[in-house]
Amino acid sequence: MEVIFVLIGVSLVLAITFLILFFKAMKDGQFDDGYTPSVRILFENQPKKSNKDQPKQSKSYE
């Protein structure tokens, strides 16, 4: 039964360690996205126009 208290203590120490490492990595900018903003301009999304907004094309047979 005493081993459960040891395991709880060890798990708390591990959890706090990983939490500290996560915040340290976040502060250092490891999760910043440096690639997507430079590529986003190449794939610019244009708003879709409905058929009502588009002008009617005249048919030319020339």
pLDDT of residue 35: 82
Residue 62 lies in a domain: no
List the domain range (segments joined by +) for residue 27. Answer: 1-45
What's the rounded Cα separation, in Å, for the pair 50 and 62? 28
Average pLDDT by consecutive 10-residue portion of the chain (62 residues)? 96 98 93 82 72 62 56
Residue 17 domain-assigned (yes or no): yes
Residue 7 falls inside a structural domain = yes
Please give the structure tokens belonging to residue 26. 């976040």
Is pTM beyond 0.85? Reply is no
Answer whether residue 14 is part of any domain.
Answer: yes
Give dist(CA 8, CA 21) in Å, integer: 20
- Please count the structural domains in the chain: 1
Is 59 part of a structural domain of the chain?
no
Q: What is the pLDDT of residue 17?
A: 98
- The answer as to whether 35 is a domain residue is yes
What is the predicted pLDDT for the residue at 54?
60
- How confident is the model at residue 8, as a pLDDT? 97
Asked, for residue 53, whether it belongs to a domain, the answer is no
- Rounded Cα distance between 18 and 22, Å, is 6
